[in-house]
Amino acid sequence: MRRIYFLVPNVTVTKLVVDALLLARIEERHIHVIAKRGTPMEDLPEANLFQKSDFIPAVERGLAIGGSAGILAGLVAISLPVTGPMLAGGVLLMATLSGAGIGAWAGGMIGVSTDSTRIKQFEKAIEAGQVLLLVDVPKSRVDEIETCIKQYLPQVEIEGTEPHVPAFP
- Pure H helices in 80-164: 85-112, 117-120, 123-127, 142-152
**What pLDDT does residue 44 have?**
86
Query: pTM, whole model, 2 decimals?
Result: 0.70
Name residue 44's amino acid.
L
Annotated domain spans of the chain:
2-53+116-162, 55-112
Give CATH for domain 2-53+116-162.
Answer: 3.30.70
d(CA 84, CA 98) in angstroms, rounded, equals 20
d(CA 73, CA 94) in angstroms, rounded, equals 10
pLDDT digits (tens, 9 = 90+) for 90-141: 888 898 999 999 999 999 888 888 777 778 888 888 888 888 888 888 888 8
d(CA 44, CA 91) in angstroms, rounded, equals 50
**What pLDDT does residue 169 have?**
47
